[in-house]
Chains A and B, each alone.
Chain A
Amino acid sequence: MENLNAIEVLESPTDLAYLINKISGENINTCIQCYSCASVCPFFEFMGNAPHHLIRMIQYGLRDEVLRSPAIWICVGCHTCSSQCPAAIDLVEVMDTLRHLALKEKDNIPEYDVVNFHEQLVNSISRHGRTHKLEIMLGYKLKSGGWFDDMDVGLQMFKKRKLDILPHNIKDLSEIKKMFSEAAE
Chain B
Amino acid sequence: MPQNNLSSFTKFSYFPGCSMITTAKESGQALEASCEKLGIILEEIPDWNCCGSSSTHMLKRGLSLEIAARNLALASPDRPIVVMCPSCLHNLKRTSHQLKKDRALHEKIEDSLQKKVYLDHKIVHLLEVLAQWDIKKIQSILEKPLKDIKIAPYYGCMLASPNVMLHEHGYPLSIETTLKALGASIVLWPDIRGCCGTFLSVTKPDVSSKAVQRIIYNAKNSGAQCIVTACAMCQLNLEIRAPKEDKIPVFHYIELLAFALGAPEWKNWLKYHLIDPSPILEKAE
Contacts and interface: CB of A to CB of B under 8 A. Distances in A.
Interface stretch (B57-65, B122-130, B178-186): B57-65
A49 to B, nearest CB: 16
Nearest to A25: B101
Interface bracket on A: 35 or more
Interface in A70-123: 74, 76-80, 82-83, 85, 88-90, 92-93, 95-97, 99-100, 103, 111, 113-119, 121-122
Contacts of A35: none
Interface in A30-54: 42-43, 46
Contacts of B50: 125, 129-131
B66 A179 contact: yes
Interface stretch (A7-15, A61-69, A166-174): A166-174
Given A85-B163, A137-B202, A170 B55 contact: no
Given A42-B211, A114-B199, A133 B47 contact: no
A132 to B, nearest CB: 8
Given A118-B59, A129-B49, A183-B60, A74 B200 contact: yes
A171 to B, nearest CB: 5
A163 B160 CA distance: 28
Interface string B79-104: 00000000000100000000000000
B22 interface: yes
A178 interface: yes
Contacts of A153: 240
Interface in B192-249: 193-195, 197-200, 202-205, 207, 211, 236, 240
A118 B58 contact: yes
B60 A122 contact: yes
A96 B61 contact: yes
Interface string A145-185: 00001100100110011111000101110011011101100
Given A78-B160, A90-B164, A157-B240, A125 B67 contact: yes
B23 interface: yes
A140 interface: yes
B160 A83 contact: yes
Given A99-B58, A156-B274, A179-B66, A43 B112 contact: no
A118 B22 CA distance: 19
B178 to A, nearest CB: 23
Contacts of A77: 54, 57-58
B18 A79 contact: no
B141 to A, nearest CB: 30
Contacts of A119: 55, 59
A176 B112 contact: no
Contacts of B9: none
Contacts of A172: 47
A116 B53 CA distance: 15
Nearest to A42: B195
- Nearest first, the 5 A-B pairs at minimum CB distance are A42-B195, A78-B157, A118-B55, A82-B162, A90-B162
29 contacts: A42-B197, A43-B195, A74-B207, A76-B195, A76-B197, A77-B58, A80-B157, A82-B163, A83-B162, A99-B58, A99-B59, A111-B204, A113-B203, A114-B200, A121-B53, A122-B55, A125-B56, A125-B67, A133-B22, A133-B23, A137-B202, A160-B271, A160-B274, A161-B272, A163-B22, A170-B47, A175-B113, A179-B112, A180-B63
Interface of B: 18, 21-23, 25, 47-50, 52-63, 66-67, 70, 90, 112-113, 157-158, 160-164, 166, 193-195, 197-200, 202-205, 207, 211, 236, 240, 271-274
Interface of A: 42-43, 46, 74, 76-80, 82-83, 85, 88-90, 92-93, 95-97, 99-100, 103, 111, 113-119, 121-122, 125, 129-131, 133, 137, 140, 149-150, 153, 156-157, 160-164, 168, 170-172, 175-176, 178-180, 182-183
